[in-house]
């Protein structure tokens, strides 16, 4: 499960978006968190084919940090997440999306400059006048931040990342821009490929059953709920894909990094599966559905036996063979 932190300036609608995404009201005072299932219609289809007893979707946790980058408490909460969503107000006559996004980015840079500068001073003290690898890495990071460049865009060497990891820099995390829109509006051109969400409209459906809420949103012209759009954007930013497992006991979705080898995907299911990995039986979701089950897919030659070097693909349905 990945954690996504919501950041934004005051009145950006950050907490409204949190409510819309999680169907969970804000509490205030400290980081507000909610775990939500990742929508995936493929699960229901596979569960019906295999007559699974239960369906288990992947999950994602949203974190609405109080004060966001404007408070030490908010920054501390955001350092623990895997990616950030910058919520930008695009409603009201005084909306200035481009300037607001610049403010959010500047706040993130300043927060990192403070922690990197402090760490560099300590590293130099420990080095007693000698240039250590740690101090050199921190100095390069400080230089990039001082030049107003996010660390994820600074071209730092992999070994630099090792020295920075304990600091959990905010600008090293993937950043997804979410345009908080008013009814009938589109994402402003100045925000480029930002993800557009109608947070206020969606928050009004909080107490409705899911199907009724979706029908109402469609009346407002909202074809795809914000949760699905934001999760998709976060998965892209984190370079994640979904693979599936199915059987009589359960049908389940699993997240794994793009390009992961089969043993790593098996490890997402259970660490024993990775250590004792033998092989994976793999079939594409579309092929399995078309065949109506594993046996037919195997008979048609659509089920493959893959070894440790196989790179798992989006929508793969896996059956892992392993030895304890």
Identify which of 122, 186, 125, 115 has the alpha carbon closest to the alpha carbon of residue 145: 115
Give every CB contact of residue 64 below 8 A, 6+ residues apart in sequence: 6, 14, 15, 18, 26, 31, 32, 33
Contact 62, 4 (CB under 8 A): yes
- HSE, CB side, 13 Å, CA atoms: give it for residue 227: 26
Report the alpha-carbon distance of residue 57 to residue 267 in Å, rounded.
17
Mean pLDDT value across residues 63-71: 71
> Residue 106: its pLDDT value, please?
95
pLDDT band at residue 187 under the 50/70/90 scheme: very high
Question: Is 219 within 8 Å of 121 (Cβ atoms)?
Answer: no
pLDDT digits (tens, 9 = 90+) for 25-58: 555 555 689 999 999 999 999 999 999 999 999 9
Say whether 248 sits in a helix, a strand or coil: coil
More confidently predicted of 289 and 28: 289
Q: What are 134's two structure tokens?
A: 């740690």
Nearest CA to 14 among 130, 177, 255, 163? 177
Asked if pLDDT for residue 66 goes beyond 80, the answer is: no
Query: Which runs of consecutive H residues, i.e. helices, occur in 188-324?
Result: 199-203, 210-219, 226-238, 262-269, 271-275, 285-291, 294-299
Model confidence at 183, pLDDT cuts 50, 70, 90, reads confident
The percent of residues in the chain predicted with pLDDT above 90, rounded, is 73
Domain 259-322 has CATH 3.10.20.30: yes
d(CA 50, CA 289): 10
Report the C-alpha gap between 274 and 252 in whole angstroms. 18
The helix/strand/coil state of 240 is strand
**Quick one: average pLDDT of 266-293?**
95
Is 265 strand, coil or helix? helix
Q: Give the confidence band of 108 by pLDDT, cuts at 50, 70, 90.
A: very high
Measured CA to CA, the distance from residue 167 to residue 113 in angstroms comes to 11
Average pLDDT over residues 66-75: 67
How is the chain split into domains, by residue range? 259-322
Q: What is residue 131's predicted lDDT score, i.e. its pLDDT?
A: 81
> In the prediction, which pLDDT does 219 show?
79
Rounded distance between C-alpha atoms, residue 59 and residue 41, angstroms? 14
CB atoms within 10 A of CB 224: 14
Nearest to 312 by CA among 251, 245, 231: 245
Which pLDDT score is estimated for 76? 86
Q: Which of 300, 312, 231, 213 is nearest to 268 (CA)?
A: 312
pLDDT of res. 72: 67
Q: What is the mean pLDDT of the chain?
A: 91
Read off the pLDDT band of 159 (50, 70, 90). Answer: confident
pLDDT digits (tens, 9 = 90+) for 199-209: 988 888 877 77
pLDDT reported for residue 141 = 95
Give the per-residue pLDDT at 156.
Answer: 86
The yes-or-no verdict on residue 224 having pLDDT over 80 is yes
User: What is this structure's pTM?
Assistant: 0.90
Q: What pLDDT, on a 0 to 100 scale, did the predictor assign at position 168?
A: 95
| pLDDT at residue 31 in the model | 66
Which pLDDT belongs to residue 50?
A: 93
């Amino acid at each position: 499960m990945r954690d996504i932190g919501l950041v934004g300036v005051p009145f950006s609608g950050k907490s409204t978006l949190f409510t819309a995404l999680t169907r969970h009201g804000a509490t205030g005072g400290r980081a507000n968190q909610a775990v939500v299932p990742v929508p995936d219609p493929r699960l229901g289809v596979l569960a019906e084919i295999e007559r699974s007893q239960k369906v288990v979707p992947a999950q994602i946790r949203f974190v609405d940090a109080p004060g966001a980058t404007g408070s030490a408490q908010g920054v501390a909460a955001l350092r623990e997440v895997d990616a950030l969503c910058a919520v930008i107000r695009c409603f009201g006559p005084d909306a200035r999306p481009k300037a607001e996004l610049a403010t959010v980015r500047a706040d993130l840079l300043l927060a990192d400059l403070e922690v990197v500068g402090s760490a560099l001073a300590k590293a130099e003290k420990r080095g007693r006048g000698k240039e250590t690898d740690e101090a050199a890495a921190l100095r390069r990071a400080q230089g990039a931040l001082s030049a107003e460049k996010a660390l994820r865009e600074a071209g730092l060497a992999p070994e630099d990342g090792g020295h920075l990891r304990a600091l959990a820099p905010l600008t090293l995390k993937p950043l997804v821009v979410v345009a908080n829109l008013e009814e009938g509006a589109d994402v402003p051109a100045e925000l480029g490929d930002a993800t557009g969400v109608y947070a206020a409209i969606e928050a009004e459906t909080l107490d409705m059953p899911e199907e009724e809420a979706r029908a109402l949103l469609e009346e407002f012209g909202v074809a795809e709920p914000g949760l699905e759009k934001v999760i998709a954007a976060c998965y892209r930013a984190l370079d994640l894909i979904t693979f599936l497992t199915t059987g009589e006991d359960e049908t389940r979705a699993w997240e794994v990094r793009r390009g992961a080898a089969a043993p790593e995907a098996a490890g997402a299911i259970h660490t024993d599966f990775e250590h004792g990995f033998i092989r994976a039986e793999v079939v594409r979701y579309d092929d399995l559905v078309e065949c109506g089950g594993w046996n037919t897919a195997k008979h048609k030659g659509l089920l493959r036996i893959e070894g440790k070097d196989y790179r798992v693909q989006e929508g793969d349905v896996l059956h892992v063979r392993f030895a304890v």
